[in-house]
Structure 1
Amino acid sequence: MSNNDQHPLTVGVTGGIASGKSSVARAFEAHGIPWVDADDVAREIVMPGEPALAEIAEHFGPEVLDAKGMLNRRALRAIVFADEAERRWLESVTHPRVRQRLLEYLDAMRASGSPYHLLVSPLLFESGQHELVDRCLVVDVPESVQIARTMARDESDEAQVRAILRAQMPRDERLAKADEVIDNQNDHAALVRQVAQLDVRYRDLATSTPDGRGS
């Protein structure tokens, strides 16, 4: 079928911390599907020379910068997840800039000829980025798995991980908003099988419905 017969889908991929969103994205990439990660974009917009970094350093002070002038993400995380008002201030600075940069990436992927593409975002619903996508795919694992994986990956203590979880949408609420769900508490082979099934579904939606969205 020609590209003119396709309606490129934007699939939002989300899930709580350490649910395995990047692993899911890489599994889709193996099927030739492009993707952009909102976390990567969030890092881009706070690089040295970016206006957001200057605002953050002015607000929080030099302790949130390292010796090279880069953002010390661990120091900033400790501040904002201990104080909701500070976290909301930070989001007011970063979220609009992330959204604008994401729109630029999404436009490029729509022009790529791929039947669908992914927007990977841990805060897809919380940040309003779900408004940018046609389908919402939730990567789901139990909270106990999230805590264990995050503590091992980030060398965080359990109290800090639980603070991050509290700042994210509750698991049941996230699942209720999903169009599709991947259960990622098993091995990688199980994830790959689920992605292969969804790849078929998304390709079908992109070619079989007038607006590419399906039901």
Structure 2
Amino acid sequence: MSPSRRIGLTGSIGAGKSTVAALLRARGYPVLDADQQARLATQEPGTLAALDALFPGVVVVGVLDRAALAARVFGDPQALAALNAVVHPRVRARMAALEEQAVRAGAAVTVHDVPLLFEGGLDAKMHGVLVVDAPLAVRVARVMARSGLTEAEVLARDARQLSPAEKRARATAVIENSGDLNELEVQVTAALAQLGLK
């Protein structure tokens, strides 16, 4: 069972993808959040056991130390690939179950909020892709304000993702998020129109 339309939602760090996701939810679209499902997946005993075996010390009293895990895999492609091999299949299964649930509830469209949509090749499974973007300086300032990361740390994370220019080139529609919420609403409306949605 699959919906008639599956829309991908992605964007670079600090672009405001979560804000757009909230606006889409407010318009009645089921938004399936891959990050949220990853957090839930990494609370499962089986996942924790697998991660503890791969990265001893990252599970403390049955809880994943996310900062320690991030420090272990950042900048180490082999460690990151090992992490992804454990987590990604579990996240995909959770997203598929949520999608089926939404379809059974009558949803004709589901929005898949996936930060690394293009990097994971998931755009091939979408009927359209919305990319949220904003100028680099704006994105860096947003992430620094919300996370406490330094500018260098934000830039390093941004550099690990597909470039905004590449994402824009591969998007069905681009949502510019450099203004206020009212301007963003206008952008969302225009992007949905490009997809033939309301």
Give the TM-score of the pair, scaled to structure 2.
0.89
Residue 188 (structure 1) aligned with residue 184 (structure 2): no
Identity of aligned residues (%): 37
Does the alignment pair 1:54 with 2:23? no
Displacement after TM superposition at 1:200 (Å): 4.6
In structure 2, the partner of 1:112 is 105
Q: CA deviation at 1:42?
A: 0.7
Is 1:172 the counterpart of 2:168? The answer is: no
Match of 2:148 among 143, 149, 155: 155
Is the contact made by 1:48 and 1:69 (CA closer than 8 Å) also made in structure 2? no
Distance 2:99 2:152 in 1: 36
Match of 1:69 among 62, 84, 90: 62
Q: Which residue of 2 aligns with 1:135?
A: 128
| Distance in structure 2 (CA, Å) of the matches to 1:195 and 1:56 | 38
| Unmatched tracts of structure 2, length 5 or more | none
Does residue 17 (structure 1) correspond to residue 49 (structure 2)? The answer is no
Judged with a 3 Å threshold, the aligned counterparts in structure 2 of structure 1 residues 38 and 105 are, in CA distance, closer, same or farther, namely same
Q: Distance in 2 between matches of 1:143 and 1:38?
A: 24
Counterpart of 1:93 in structure 2 is: 86
1:131 Cα deviation (Å)? Answer: 2.9
1:94-142 deviation line (CA, Å, top 9, x unaligned): 1122112211111222233233221001011111222332110000112
Read off the aligned partner of 1:78 and give its amino acid letter: A
**C-alpha separation in 1, matches of 2:48 and 2:54:** 10
Comparing 167-176 with 84-93, which one deviates more in the overlay?
Answer: 84-93
Q: What is the aligned counterpart of 1:45 among 41, 44, 48?
A: 41
- How far apart in 1 are the matches of 2:190 and 2:101? 26
User: Aligned equivalents of 2:159 and 2:53: distance in 1?
Assistant: 27
Q: Could you say if the C-alpha distance between residues 21 and 74 of structure 1 is closer, same or farther in structure 2, counting changes exceeding 3 Å? A: same
Letter in 2 for 1:20: G
Q: Matched residues in 2 for 1:16 and 1:139: separation? A: 7
Alpha-carbon offset, residue 85 of structure 1 = 2.1
Q: Structure 2: how far apart are the matches of 1:153 and 1:53?
A: 27
Q: Contact 1:16–1:168 (CA<8 Å) still a contact in 2?
A: yes
| SS state at 2:64 partner | coil
Q: Which amino acid aligns with 1:33?
A: Y
What number of residue pairs does the alignment pair up?
196
Give the 3 Å change call, closer, same or farther, for CA 140–124 of structure 1 in structure 2. Answer: same
